[in-house]
Amino acid sequence: MDGTPGILVDAGPGSFTRLGETGLSLAKTDIVLLTHLHADHAGELPGLFKARAVGVRAPIAFHIFGPDGHKGRVDDAPFPSTSAFIDLLFGSQGAFA
């Protein structure tokens, strides 16, 4: 990279708009850090990835980091690992395959 940060922390609703307001290019964003997988932190990930694919027109490799997931407890819902979450979205059988 040219010294410009290429890291996106979380991708909740409004992320694409906020990124545009900064004037930074989505083309140089290749690392995504997800603090957790609630919709308000990861819900706009598919749209951001699609926008990058359309805007850059070159091979894209994102490096995505996030929680390992957990099975949940009686009072707590289970969450998949980040890798399972990404596979559910973008894997060969995913929602946005």
Q: Are 19 and 9 in contact (CB under 8 A)?
A: no
pTM of the model: 0.80
Total domains in the chain come to 1
Instruction: Please check whether residue 60 lies inside any domain of the structure.
Output: yes
Q: Is 47 exposed, middle or buried (0-12, 13-18, 19+ CB in 10 A)?
A: middle
Q: Are 38 and 10 in contact (CB under 8 A)?
A: no
In tens, the pLDDT along 15-67 reads 888 888 888 777 778 899 999 998 999 999 998 888 888 877 777 788 999 99
Instruction: Please check whether residue 50 lies inside any domain of the structure.
Output: yes
Q: Tell me the residue range of the domain where 76 lies.
A: 7-90
Instruction: Please check whether residue 2 lies inside any domain of the structure.
Output: no
How far apart CA 30 and CA 59 sit, in angstroms, is 11
Instruction: Please check whether residue 12 lies inside any domain of the structure.
Output: yes
Instruction: Please check whether residue 1 lies inside any domain of the structure.
Output: no
Instruction: Please check whether residue 97 lies inside any domain of the structure.
Output: no
Average pLDDT over residues 73-95: 85
